[in-house]
């Protein structure tokens, strides 16, 4: 992997040294070879889809304002999994003119055929924080194509709160599956039963019932130091509940947006969500459990699953190389749990009142792998939505009903309301192209129209959710459930902002135009 600035990132962010040498003029070039490889993250050997032979895939690091260039070489051959692929930078806002590099198959692009390459270019603009990258084709990232993306801010407003922020403080949580994605997807389509993961991994390591005692992942700390830990839920379904024995966590970022510091003992993370937390190494030198139990379907349907085995070790320098002596638990039972509705942006912002309000009703067809938004199950078209936009003027009638595409006017404020449901499921809905104000969180009963947080993934369903965003980024942007089995079953829409302006701004390359024929 060619990470021209990874060492600079560690030095600059950790030590704040030699900053004069770091500017946003650098082009950060990354090359990912996507191949099939047999690995055993939880002790069970299986073939996978990996970038540069690692799970999780190697970190991509960049600085605020840089241009990030990622070349993907598709070398896949195993047809038990998808052999085409596509890259999405989850949470990074692709500009209108660059929509063709956004990486959503059959929305903004076609995937990369096996034996071919494509280079994605992104101007990162003012975005900073914790993100991740993954295949956005079907449920392919279940097979392993997923990894962290960190955009550092050399003028981070929270810099005084921590001492260390480097590659060692990235903590990735994922669900792991012993079967390949295509057979599992076919089984889901035949039965309507969503696959249950075999284990959970922390930084690529996990265990399952009856499996080998794979050594735990270790997060090393030094007594007295404060660590910015970047937590990423890279799962395709599972909800992780994170805590560290005898240590508190101060949240300072949610999905790439700085928040007012909020100290908790435990936090829940839906699929795709990210948080930065500051953890003080202020306990006696020892080993402590980092707890990451998860839920994701009825565990009894998969006897391999034991959520208690989803964990890692926080190890102080000077502690023995050994497991903690305390019991494995699911975390504190009397601590302060994160209430998402209590998060506040670091810079207060009052969202404008909506010009347009949409209601999205989510429904599942009993016993079938079919999910609907407003009675429509999304089916990806043969030709990408963006290609249709570029072909000429469009309106709602241009698109098949199953494309579930909403044409939105430019520079308006749109509110989407998800009515309450009878179940307590939280579908993590993710917006491409923009983030949104979370007006009504599942975690609280009240609307917040004064200073709600902005993020790009929030749970919907249950007690009801309201989000609000500006249509200030022309283009077709996917809006979907981040439980990718649900997305594959149709729980998705396309929010097409100002197609006329998008058609004017987008000037795709010949390489992009060649993707569909290939």
Under DSSP, the state recorded for 206 is -
* Strand bridging mode 226-233 / 287-291: unpaired
User: Hey, what are 506's tokens?
Assistant: 């987008």
pLDDT of 25 reads 58
Choice among 17-21, 280-284, 356-360, 411-415 with the minimum mean pLDDT: 17-21
Cα dist from 43 to 50, 177, 178, 202, 235, whole Å: 17, 12, 10, 14, 19
Q: At residue 17, does pLDDT exceed 60?
A: no
pLDDT of 298 reads 87
The mean pLDDT of 447-469, rounded to a whole number, is 96
Give which of 9, 14, 29, 117 is closest to 70, Cα–Cα.
Answer: 29
Q: How far apart are CA 233 and CA 171, in angstroms?
A: 9
pLDDT of 443 reads 92
What CATH superfamily classification does 356-514 receive? Cupredoxins -  blue copper proteins (2.60.40.420)
Give which of 135, 220, 207, 213 is closest to 170, Cα–Cα.
Answer: 220
The mean pLDDT of 418-422, rounded to a whole number, is 87
Q: What is the DSSP string of 124-168?
A: -TT--EEEEEEE-STTGGGGT-EEEEEEE-TT-TTGGG-SB-SGG
Distance of CA 112 to the CA centre of its chain: 21
The mean pLDDT of 459-479, rounded to a whole number, is 96
Question: CB–CB of 5/62 below 8 Å?
Answer: yes
Q: At residue 18, does pLDDT exceed 50?
A: no
What confidence tier does 15 reach under pLDDT thresholds 50, 70, 90? very low
Give which of 93, 64, 284, 75 is closest to 154, Cα–Cα.
Answer: 64
User: Hey, what are 446's tokens?
Assistant: 């009240």
pLDDT of 306 reads 96
The mean pLDDT of 504-508, rounded to a whole number, is 95
Do 27-152 and 170-342 come out as alike in CATH topology?
yes
pLDDT digits (tens, 9 = 90+) for 28-70: 999 999 999 999 999 999 999 999 999 999 999 999 999 999 9
Enumerate the domain spans of the chain: 27-152, 170-342, 356-514
pLDDT of 424 reads 64
pLDDT of 16 reads 36
Q: Which CATH class is domain 27-152?
A: mainly beta
pLDDT of 300 reads 87
Q: How far apart are CA 432 and CA 357, in angstroms?
A: 19
Using DSSP, state whether 176 is helix, strand or coil.
Answer: strand
End-to-end CA distance of the chain, in Å? Answer: 26
| Residues facing residue 256 across a β-bridge | none
Q: CATH assignment of 170-342?
A: 2.60.40.420
pLDDT of 22 reads 43
Report which secondary-structure segment, H or E, holds 181: helix 181-191
Cα dist from 392 to 123, 397, 504, 516, whole Å: 27, 13, 10, 18
Q: What is the percent of the chain with per-residue pLDDT over 70, rounded to a whole number?
A: 95
């Amino acid at each position: 992997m060619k990470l021209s600035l990874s060492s600079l990132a560690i030095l600059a962010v950790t030590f704040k040294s030699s900053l004069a040498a770091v500017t946003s003029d650098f082009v950060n070039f990354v090359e990912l070879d996507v191949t099939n490889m047999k690995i055993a993250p939880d002790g069970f050997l299986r073939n996978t889809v990996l970038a540069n032979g690692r799970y999780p895939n190697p970190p991509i690091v960049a600085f605020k304002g840089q241009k990030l260039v990622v070349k993907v070489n598709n070398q896949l051959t195993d047809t038990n999994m998808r052999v085409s692929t596509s890259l999405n930078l989850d949470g990074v806002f692709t500009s209108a003119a660059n929509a063709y590099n956004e990486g959503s198959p059959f929305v903004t692009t076609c995937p990369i055929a096996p034996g071919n390459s494509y280079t994605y270019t992104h101007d990162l603009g003012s975005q900073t924080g914790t993100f991740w990258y993954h295949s956005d084709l079907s449920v392919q990232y279940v097979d392993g194509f997923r990894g962290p993306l960190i955009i550092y801010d050399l003028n981070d407003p929270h810099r005084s709160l921590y001492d260390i922020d480097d590659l060692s403080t990235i903590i990735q949580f994922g669900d792991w599956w012993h079967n390949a994605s295509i057979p599992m997807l076919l089984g889901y389509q035949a039965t309507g039963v969503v696959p249950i993961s075999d284990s959970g991994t922390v930084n690529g390591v996990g265990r399952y019932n009856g499996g080998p005692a794979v050594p735990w992942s270790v997060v090393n700390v030094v007594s007295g130091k404060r660590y910015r830990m970047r937590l990423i839920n890279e799962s395709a379904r599972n909800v992780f509940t994170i805590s560290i024995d005898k240590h508190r966590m101060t949240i300072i970022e949610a999905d790439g947006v700085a928040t007012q510091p909020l100290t908790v003992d435990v936090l829940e993370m839906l699929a795709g969500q990210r948080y930065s937390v500051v953890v003080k190494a202020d306990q006696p030198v020892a080993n402590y459990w980092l707890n990451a139990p998860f839920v994701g379907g009825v565990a009894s349907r998969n006897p391999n699953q034991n959520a208690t085995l989803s964990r890692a070790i926080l190890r102080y320098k000077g502690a023995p190389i050994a497991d903690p002596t305390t019991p494995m638990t699911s975390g504190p039972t009397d601590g302060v749990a994160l209430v998402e509705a209590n998060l506040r942006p670091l810079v207060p912002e009052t969202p404008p009142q909506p010009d347009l309000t949409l209601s999205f009703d989510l429904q599942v067809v009993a016993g079938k792998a079919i999910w609907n938004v407003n009675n429509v199950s999304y089916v990806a078209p043969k030709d990408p939505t963006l290609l249709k936009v570029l072909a000429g003027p469009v309106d709602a009638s241009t698109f098949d009903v199953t494309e579930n595409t909403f044409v939105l006017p430019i520079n308006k404020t749109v509110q989407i309301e998800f009515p309450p449901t009878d179940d307590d499921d939280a579908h993590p809905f993710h917006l491409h192209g923009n983030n949104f104000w979370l007006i009504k969180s599942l975690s609280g009963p009240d609307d917040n129209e004064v200073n709600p947080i902005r993020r790009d993934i929030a749970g919907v369903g249950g007690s009801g959710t309201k989000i609000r965003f500006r249509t200030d980024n022309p283009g077709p942007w996917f809006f979907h459930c981040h439980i990718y089995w649900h997305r594959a079953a149709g729980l998705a829409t396309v929010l097409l902002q100002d197609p006329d302006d998008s058609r004017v701004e987008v000037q795709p390359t010949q390489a992009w135009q060649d993707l569909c024929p290939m």
